[in-house]
Structure 1
Amino acid sequence: MDNEKNKADRRRIRSHRLLKQSFEQLMREKGFTAMTIQDIADRADVHRGTFYAHFPDKFALLEQSIRDKFRHVLERQLPPDSGWHPESMRVLVRTVLEHVRSLYGRCSPVDTVDPLFERSVRHELTDLLRHWLRELQAARAGWQAPVDTMALMASWAIFGAAVEWSKGSENISVDEMTDRVLTVLTEGAKMGFHA
């Protein structure tokens, strides 16, 4: 019985991997708008029903692909002992700035892709920050805001700054923008108030 379950699990993993690989190949060849679910299934050499067993539609596959790529970028840049501390935050902010700038110019201008890209990257970023903040919270007590709220706000701050910076309206270096974002994250609203 276990052998049959392992065989099914391996088949499922293999099909998932093939669908993702086929999707990436078709993105390069045809682009997102032109490809169909049948194209993806045919390229992966699986039935259309197998596609739907893994993804509800091609937008879900695109979202998964974006999140996977962003996660791999972060894993390459961040050291294994990363957390909510100045060195990791600096690497994280700079990586997000560079990633958003590099991809924004290459993304298809389809209205549904940009929001999907933004949501995917921001969700992955929020998940990472939530993990870091939970580790930090274990060592500290008495936080006034919930971890989920703090992670969400920090991800919006980082990602929003990256989107605006990537538009190039100001001629600011990645180092200067990284410093600005870190200042906002560490100093917060208290910068604008005088006692």
Structure 2
Amino acid sequence: METERNEADRRRRRSQLLLKQSFAELMREKGFTAMTIQDITDRADVHRGTFYAHFPDKFALLEQSIRDKFRQILERELPPDAGWNPEHLLMLVRIVLDHVRSLYGRCSPIDTVNPLFESSVRDELAELLQLWLQKLRADQADWTIHVDTMALMTSWSIFGAAVQWSKSYEDISVDEMTHRVVAVLTEGAGRFANNDKKM
């Protein structure tokens, strides 16, 4: 029974890998809009039913591919023990800035890929930040901020800054923008609130 389950899992992983590889090749050759599910299954040499066993449509496959790629970049660029501290935040923000700029340099603003790219990267970023913040919160019993809210807002802040910078602020270097974003995250509005109380 265990052997059969392992074999089924292995076949499932192999089919999913073939579909993702075929999808990546077709993205380079034809682009997302022109490719069909039939193109993907023909290239992967699997039945259409196999595709639908893994993904409801090609948008879901695109979303998964975007998240996989971004996750691989994070795993490659960040140390295994990365967490919420200035050094690792600098690294993370730099990664996001570079990644967003690389995509916006290749995709038209009206391309259907962009909204999925944005939500996929933001979601993956929020999940990573949630892990970092959960570890941090474990060390600070008096912390009253909800981790999921903090992770969500931080991911939007980093990603939003990256998108705006990649479109509008070419005169600001990636290093300068990285430091600006991290300063907001580590100092934030709290300093303004404290200054307001002193007035």
TM-score range normalised by the length of the shorter chain: over 0.9
Q: Distance in 1 between matches of 2:136 and 2:191?
A: 23
- What are the within-5 Å matches in structure 2 for residues 18-37 of structure 1? 18-37=18-37
Q: Deviations over 1:90-116 (max 9, x none)?
A: 100011001100111112544532110
> Unaligned regions of 5+ residues in structure 2, if any?
none
Q: Distance in 2 between matches of 1:86 and 1:169?
A: 23
Q: Distance in 1 between matches of 2:98 and 2:130?
A: 22
Aligned to 2:70: 70
The answer to whether 1:42 aligns with 2:42 is: yes
Aligned to 2:127: 127
Aligned to 1:163: 163
Match of 2:159, SS state, is helix
Match of 1:134, SS state, is helix
The answer to whether 1:13 aligns with 2:13 is: yes
Gap change, CA 1:47 and 1:110, over 3 Å in 2: farther
Shift of residue 11 of structure 1?
0.8
TM-score (norm 1): 0.96
The code of the aligned residue for 2:77 comes to Q
Q: Distance in 1 between matches of 2:25 and 2:2?
A: 34
Q: Distance in 1 between matches of 2:113 and 2:153?
A: 23
Q: Deviations over 1:34-72 (max 9, x none)?
A: 000111011111000100000010000000000011111
TM-score (norm 2): 0.94
- What are the within-5 Å matches in structure 2 for residues 169-184 of structure 1? 169-184=169-184
Note if contact 2:122-2:155 (Cα within 8 Å) is conserved in structure 1: yes
- Percent of aligned pairs with the same amino acid: 73
Aligned to 1:81: 81
Note if contact 2:19-2:44 (Cα within 8 Å) is conserved in structure 1: yes
- What are the within-5 Å matches in structure 2 for residues 90-109 of structure 1? 90-109=90-109
Aligned to 1:192: 192
Q: Distance in 1 between matches of 2:107 and 2:35?
A: 15
Match of 1:34, SS state, is coil
The code of the aligned residue for 2:157 comes to A
4+ aligned runs moved over 4 Å, structure 1: 108-111
Q: Distance in 2 between matches of 1:4 and 1:75?
A: 32
Match of 1:6, SS state, is helix
Match of 2:25, SS state, is helix
